[in-house]
Structure 1
Amino acid sequence: MPHDTGRIAILEDDPIMGESLQHRLTIEGHRVKWWTKGEQAVRELIDCPDAFDLIVCDIRLPDMNGEEVFRKASRETAAPFLFMSGYGDIDQAVRLMRSGAVDYITKPFDMAAFLERVALSLRSREQLASGGTLGISSAMRNVEQVLQRYASHPLPVLLQGETGTGKEVSARFLHQISTRKSAPFIAVNCAAIPAELLESELFGHEKGAFTGAHQLHRGYAERAGDGILFLDEIGDMPANLQAKLLRLIEDGTFHRVGSEAPLPFKARIVCATHQAIGADGSSFRKDLFFRLSALPVRIAPLRERQEDILWLAHRFLDEIMEIRDTRVRGIGTLAEDAMLEHGWPGNARELRNRLERAAALSENLLLMPADIFPDVVTAFDTPQIETLANAREAAERRQILRVLGATNGQISQAARRLGISRTTLWGKMTRFGIETSECSDS
């Protein structure tokens, strides 16, 4: 299967090196532009900021150095820079990475190694039609498979997981893949509505049922019709309403407040909670729990599925950029590393909130660790002494997670980009505790 191709610009003053790179990249299927002077590169990048997917740039140039080209061009273009450096320029290359460059490679280099760096720098974030709607990790693919099996059933579904793990997103996914997708999806947060109002909001009320009831009010159960009634934070539902919800499930009918006429309930109930409502000692009704948990689903916390962190981050940022006027156009490599090292106690909700704040406040084209974690001292700020072997393994693990996120969890494609066999990649994933399931290659 052919690898991903892109529009690549080369800035290299050595005619032999420049021609060699242009020729090989063209053979690989890329569209290539070659410059020999920094001034020319800056001018064209400013004039056509979206013309390239990657800039391969030498650090030492006759008219200006690569760092100066990067500084000037990056004000206008979000295209990633891959720097080529001699041994004496490594410190400068590392500094450029901290400023937002995507990568660097040291001269002289093997062509295969160079092509691997190009492939990694051209990370594609396109979602594949074969799957990966909720995540690329084994845990989230299992959730998708379970929800696919549950989609055709009318029984209640109970989604359990920590706050911010994506329970409502999963419920909406279930709605979209079911035969009820053309009917309403009504979401009710049981914790957000005052207890004294929840019954009226859920079941509705008749005109004059109580003081202030000036007209007929159709509740969420009625408005859900033949669709899905999603009860979020079900563990916070008052005890008296738990009894009425149980009767709703068992009888398939309900009453508006102030009425004795039963109304049919046709929707499917999907609930979510971060509480262990089925555990001993819980005040939640056991008989209702057994009814609601007919089809249970556990959503793992983000810290248990690191494969999803960058996958989610890039999708969140894409959505944010669509609705917000922001200078930000991507996430820098160091910021990705920092995200992979963070524990995410707030799960996916925390991830999105941090990216929204970063996109609003950052002045960089590519987000840096300090943009996303202004309140956290990262490992980049407080270096720890560790063995070279440990550092190498940590970097290798981060790179595998990064490429898996870019390839939507496709093992074969990730192995090609990493320049290793599928068997080798599987072995490394097993050693590092990475559990991404493989999609079908297409």
Structure 2
Amino acid sequence: MSLKDRSIALVEDDPIMGESLVQMLSLEGALVTWWRSGGEAIAASPRHRPEAVICDLRLPDVDGEQVFLAWANSEMPPPFVFITGFGDIDQAVRLMKGGAGDFLTKPFEKDVFLERLADLLPRRSEFAGACLGVSPPMRSVQRLLDRIAKVRSTVLITGETGTGKEVAARYLHGASSSGELPFVAINCAAIPADLLESELFGHERGAFTGAGQRHLGYAERAGGGTLFLDEVGELRPELQAKLLRLVEERTFRRVGGEKDLAFSARLVAATNSDLQAAVAIGRFRKDLLFRLDVLNVAVPPLRERKEDIAWLLDRFFEEFAALVDTPLRGVSALTEQAAADHPWPGNVRELRNRVERAVALGLGPWLMPSDLFPEALQHQVVDAFGSLAEVRNEAERRHIERALGCASGEMARAAKILGIGRTTLWEKMQKLGLRAG
């Protein structure tokens, strides 16, 4: 395993030994922190999180064992490699039994030291740090969102239903400087049209029948955070005009209100519709589209990012398995292959729903293809009893293919083998979709 970019702490009071180890590790690409006393290392333990600690057992102020115990009581303690003299071997063995990783007696060979250290480091996934996906398309989306997070411009997220547009919006919000402020989401297609204005902008008491008190809308509740408008293409024309004002002037007015209120949140809109086409037929305002589409993020469908399927499958399995008492231990390789072959018309949402059902109903010990795709079993039963015409056509197809093979693709010879005329053979081949040669 490579030490490149791995965080290593060194506790060594000997300047010559310490310098040598720092140089050796740095040449391997490791990021080294050197503490020259045990007390210094103990003081740093609450806030420093190296991936491994190299520690001399004999230190001038405290014993190396005390350093180990200080780290062992912290959250997620790192593995320790102790550097010992022959007289300290018993102590080192005792510490290993207590949870330390390894020990090396002086003097030790460089290659042995590096190999033993590398073996102790926690394995890094190839996709460590991935939040939205592990495929190249989703990594590209995540990099774009990371850049957008540094500014407050309006964002339009596009993509098919179920691709994870809201997940992308939440990631953007979390990556921004306002990540601790509210993220307020509203589905413009899910709220009745006559209530949407009140829900979005709020209303004053008495604004309409049933408005018994002031109601703060989503735009106001978002504060300085993020207002996420999903399915923005479903907004009625009159609401599109009011949304345009919200974007252009950064102000809005409650229903029945007389005072303009400042809009402080970042606006993120999402749609699975072709807004350009909607503009062309007069269903969506062109000026609003321009205002919303300042920064565009396109989330690709799941079928275009196959590498994410197994990754998402594992994540959803772990999520749902933690919520129910299930005999399932994991996802089988056959299921992963079946999932990779599925077209996923419902995208990530479909995958999530299928895993939730499979975990709830699976009998274990492994989640199998029939758990994920129970409808496939029904189709197999139906397919096994095809019609007589289908059976006859399939038999004729195989027989004609064998005859053509024996005749090296020559139609006249194949027809003679089959005992039919060449014209009849040609007609049958046309019907069955066969080609000579």
Question: For residue 46 of structure 2, what is the aligned residue in structure 1?
Answer: none
Residues 234-253 of structure 1: per-residue CA shift (max 9 Å, x gap): 11111110000000111111
Residues 218-277 of structure 1: per-residue CA shift (max 9 Å, x gap): 000000000000001111111110000000111111000001100000000001110001
Partner Cα distance (2:188, 2:234) in 1? 6
Task: Report the CA distance between 1:346 and its aligned residue.
Answer: 0.2
Q: Work out which of the residue numbers 183, 206, 209 in structure 2 matches 1:208.
A: 206
Partner Cα distance (1:182, 1:349) in 2? 27
Query: Could you tell me whether the CA contact under 8 Å between 1:201 and 1:219 is conserved in 2?
Result: yes
Say if 2:185 is the partner of 1:181.
Answer: no
The code of the aligned residue for 1:359 comes to V
Question: For residue 293 of structure 1, what is the aligned residue in structure 2?
Answer: 293
Task: Report the CA distance between 1:328 and its aligned residue.
Answer: 1.6
Give the 3 Å change call, closer, same or farther, for CA 142–211 of structure 1 in structure 2. same
Task: Report the CA distance between 1:324 and its aligned residue.
Answer: 2.2
Partner Cα distance (2:124, 2:316) in 1? 13
The code of the aligned residue for 1:147 comes to L
Task: Report the CA distance between 1:127 and its aligned residue.
Answer: 5.9
Question: Is the partner of 1:376 in helix, strand or coil?
Answer: helix
Aligned ranges 1:12-411 → 2 under 5 Å: 130-279=128-277, 280-281=280-281, 283-376=283-376
Query: Could you tell me whether the CA contact under 8 Å between 2:141 and 2:297 is conserved in 1?
Result: yes
Partner Cα distance (1:378, 1:182) in 2? 49
Task: Report the CA distance between 1:155 and its aligned residue.
Answer: 1.1
Query: Could you tell me whether the CA contact under 8 Å between 2:182 and 2:226 is conserved in 1?
Result: yes
Task: Report the CA distance between 1:283 and its aligned residue.
Answer: 1.1
Question: Is the partner of 1:278 in helix, strand or coil?
Answer: helix
The code of the aligned residue for 2:239 comes to L
Query: Could you tell me whether the CA contact under 8 Å between 1:328 and 1:365 is conserved in 2?
Result: yes
Query: Could you tell me whether the CA contact under 8 Å between 1:276 and 1:282 is conserved in 2?
Result: no
Partner Cα distance (1:287, 1:197) in 2? 24
Query: Could you tell me whether the CA contact under 8 Å between 1:143 and 1:298 is conserved in 2?
Result: yes
Partner Cα distance (1:330, 1:125) in 2? 20
Query: Could you tell me whether the CA contact under 8 Å between 2:188 and 2:196 is conserved in 1?
Result: yes
The code of the aligned residue for 2:320 comes to I
Question: For residue 43 of structure 2, what is the aligned residue in structure 1?
Answer: none
Query: Could you tell me whether the CA contact under 8 Å between 1:338 and 1:378 is conserved in 2?
Result: no
Query: Could you tell me whether the CA contact under 8 Å between 1:233 and 1:274 is conserved in 2?
Result: yes
Residues 40-86 of structure 1: per-residue CA shift (max 9 Å, x gap): xxxxxxxxxxxxxxxxxxxxxxxxxxxxxxxxxxxxxxxxxxxxxxx
Task: Report the CA distance between 1:358 and its aligned residue.
Answer: 0.6
The code of the aligned residue for 1:138 comes to P
Task: Report the CA distance between 1:205 and its aligned residue.
Answer: 0.3
Give the 3 Å change call, closer, same or farther, for CA 126–325 of structure 1 in structure 2. farther
TM-score after normalising by structure 2: 0.58
Give the 3 Å change call, closer, same or farther, for CA 282–164 of structure 1 in structure 2. farther
Report the number of matched residues: 264
Partner Cα distance (1:378, 1:169) in 2? 34
Q: Which segment drifts farther, 219-228 or 131-140?
A: 131-140
TM-score after normalising by structure 1: 0.57
The code of the aligned residue for 1:174 comes to L
Task: Report the CA distance between 1:282 and its aligned residue.
Answer: 5.7
* Higher Cα Rg, which structure: 2
Question: Is the partner of 1:246 in helix, strand or coil?
Answer: helix
Task: Report the CA distance between 1:306 and its aligned residue.
Answer: 0.3
Partner Cα distance (1:150, 1:246) in 2? 21
* Aligned residues: CA RMSD: 2.4
Partner Cα distance (1:157, 1:196) in 2? 26
Partner Cα distance (1:129, 1:342) in 2? 23
Give the 3 Å change call, closer, same or farther, for CA 163–339 of structure 1 in structure 2. same
The code of the aligned residue for 1:210 comes to F
Task: Report the CA distance between 1:322 and its aligned residue.
Answer: 1.6
Percent identical pairs in the alignment equals 55
Partner Cα distance (1:127, 1:351) in 2? 23
Query: Could you tell me whether the CA contact under 8 Å between 1:204 and 1:218 is conserved in 2?
Result: yes
Partner Cα distance (2:124, 2:367) in 1? 20
Task: Report the CA distance between 1:364 and its aligned residue.
Answer: 1.2
The code of the aligned residue for 2:179 comes to K
Task: Report the CA distance between 1:376 and its aligned residue.
Answer: 2.5
Query: Could you tell me whether the CA contact under 8 Å between 1:231 and 1:272 is conserved in 2?
Result: yes
Task: Report the CA distance between 1:380 and its aligned residue.
Answer: 9.5
The code of the aligned residue for 2:152 comes to P
Question: Is the partner of 2:137 in helix, strand or coil?
Answer: helix
Question: Is the partner of 2:275 in helix, strand or coil?
Answer: coil
Task: Report the CA distance between 1:379 and its aligned residue.
Answer: 11
Q: Which segment drifts farther, 351-360 or 328-337?
A: 328-337
Question: Is the partner of 2:203 in helix, strand or coil?
Answer: coil
